[in-house]
């Protein structure tokens, strides 16, 4: 397994703790920064990691910022990427087993290094289970494809609601 890892300035310390875990487990990784306290915009790091995961250069990615939220939002803008914010063991497991998340994001201002190490371990050891979750992941992919195919057009929420009703075969 190959991991791409990155952080903004708020997550650099926790990222280094996770790197130590990857080294202990002899997992190949590449550090996409940052390594200092100088302010960095997390979308830049999130995009770099998400792109190398999407193109298959790396199997998975780990991103750390203050809360994990901004990194997840930014990484999820890259088509085909599923990033999940994880701060507890159950979410770490389900992000892989149910949601097939290729990128785990965490907040250094939310959890400490021991919890982070445990969550990363759980996430690394979990694999997508398929089953009913496969159908749901396929639906998410269809939503993504639809919005990316609209190019300059904007789909309204009303259209999305109507589409949802037609897929479900029902009405209100």
| C-alpha dihedral (146, 150, 155, 159), degrees to nearest 10 | -50
- Sequence-distant (≥ 6) Cβ neighbours of residue 131 within 8 angstroms: none
Segment 76-135, tens digit of pLDDT? 999 999 999 999 999 999 999 999 999 999 999 999 999 999 999 999 999 998 888 888
The answer to whether 71 and 53 are in contact (CB under 8 A) is no
Backbone angles phi, psi at 4, to 5 degrees: -100, 130
Q: Please say if 157 is a catalytic residue.
A: no
Residue ranges of the domains in the chain? 2-125, 132-168
Euclidean distance between CA atoms 6 and 123, whole angstroms: 16
Q: Which CATH architecture has domain 2-125?
A: 3-Layer(aba) Sandwich (3.40)
Segment 2-38, tens digit of pLDDT? 999 999 999 999 999 999 999 999 999 999 989 888 8
From 14, 49, 63, 65, the catalytic residue: 65
Three-state SS for 48?
helix
Task: Tally Cβ neighbours within 10 Å of residue 169.
Answer: 6
**pLDDT at position 167, please?**
44
**pLDDT at position 162, please?**
56
Q: Is the dihedral of CA 149, 70, 35, 23 positive or negative?
A: negative
Q: Is the dihedral of CA 40, 42, 12, 80 positive or negative?
A: negative
**What is the pTM assigned to this prediction?**
0.85
Residue with the larger pLDDT of the pair 136 and 70 = 70
The answer to whether 97 and 103 are in contact (CB under 8 A) is no
């Amino acid at each position: 397994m190959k991991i791409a890892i990155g952080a903004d300035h708020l997550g650099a310390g926790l990222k280094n703790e996770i790197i130590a875990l990857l080294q202990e487990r002899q997992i190949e990784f590449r550090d996409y920064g940052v390594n200092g306290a100088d302010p960095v915009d997390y979308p830049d790091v999130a995009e770099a990691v998400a792109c190398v995961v999407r193109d298959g250069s790396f199997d998975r990615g780990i991103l750390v910022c203050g809360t994990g939220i901004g990194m997840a939002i930014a990484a999820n803008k890259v088509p085909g990427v599923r990033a999940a914010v994880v701060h507890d063991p159950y979410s770490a497991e389900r992000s892989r087993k149910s949601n097939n998340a290729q990128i785990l994001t965490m907040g250094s201002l939310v959890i400490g290094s021991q919890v982070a190490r445990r969550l990363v371990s759980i996430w690394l050891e979990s694999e997508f289970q398929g089953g009913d979750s496969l159908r749901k992941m396929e639906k998410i992919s269809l939503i993504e494809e639809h919005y990316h195919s609209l190019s300059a057009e904007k789909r309204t929420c009303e259209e999305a609601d109507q589409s949802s009703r037609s897929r479900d075969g029902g009405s209100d």
